[in-house]
Amino acid sequence: MCRSRSSVAHIETFIMGLMRDAEYIRETGFAEYGQTPGNRGAWMLRRDEGERTEFITLSLWESEDAIRSFAGDDIEAAVLYPEDARYLIGGESAVAHYEVVGEVVP
């Protein structure tokens, strides 16, 4: 049985200058995921590519309404913070949502 069947995945992608430390993301939006009612967990992924670093945050939510509690009414826009402009390359960020339809539990 899939425990997360009713979950919605909220994925944000950020392209930044090479940043070996993900602390800034942890302290901003990533920390807020866990403080928002309806959040079912979050993961941060990082990939270094030359002079750029790509971060992807994947968070699971009970519903789109729960995502709105975090992101505001426009859940298709990335949640940005005042210092983001220092790190983002060309203001690049993206958001996607997926319904969770399967899960593997070890």
> For the whole model, what pTM was predicted?
0.79
Amino acid at 80: L
Q: How many CB atoms within 10 Å of residue 45?
A: 12
* Count of structural domains, the chain: 1
Average pLDDT (69-74) is 92
pLDDT in tens, 61-71: 999 999 999 99
* CATH code: domain of residue 48: 3.30.70.100
How far apart (Å, rounded) are the C-alpha atoms in residues 21 and 104? 30
Residue 105 located in a structural domain: no
In this prediction, residue 3 carries a pLDDT of 43
Residue 2 located in a structural domain: no
